[in-house]
Amino acid sequence: MSGVVPARSVRWSLSRTPHLPKLTFATDLQWRRRFARAADDLARDLERGQWLQPSCTAEELALHLAVRDAGERGDEDLDTGRRGRWPSHRDDYDFDMCSEVFFQDSDVLMLYSARFDGVEDPDDETNLRLGIGDLRAAAWFEPFLNVPARDPHRGFRR
């Protein structure tokens, strides 16, 4: 999977905050800075040639948005010759495959459906039945227990 999700797609997705679930609309500037840092962390991983492995809900959603946006852009980079430093691979632009391999689950996407209003609360009946966990905006930066956590002192972009 080389060069499938350009780093600029991860950062570009961040600027499209209306695409965040409605439960984030009331979040403050500090929360949004932390979400931006989550997107930046993923972009840096890509730039370093590291496998993308979201370490928290914020990174997971940022990557979902980036994959979706990259899929909407299709092979636009191929048409313009802007492929970056990554070699071509037969799986380039296979965004369905990205969704299969980069994510442990897609629970966070339930936040976009009115059918699942309230599912973000860990005490919600559906949340409990499916074992989703805490998807409230304040918990988005808590590290997943099964992947390495980011350095909590890494700072923010300037």
Task: Note the pLDDT tens digit of each residue in 93-131.
Answer: 666 667 677 888 899 999 999 999 999 999 999 999 999
- pLDDT for the residue numbered 76: 53
* CA 154/CA 36 separation, integer angstroms: 13
- Judged against a pLDDT cut of 70, whether residue 137 lies above it is answered with yes
pTM here is 0.77
Under DSSP, the state recorded for 139 is: G
- Judged against a pLDDT cut of 90, whether residue 144 lies above it is answered with yes
Q: Tell me the one-letter amino acid at 133.
A: G
How many DSSP H helices and E strands does the chain contain?
A: 6, 0
- Judged against a pLDDT cut of 50, whether residue 15 lies above it is answered with no
- Higher-pLDDT residue of 82, 144: 144
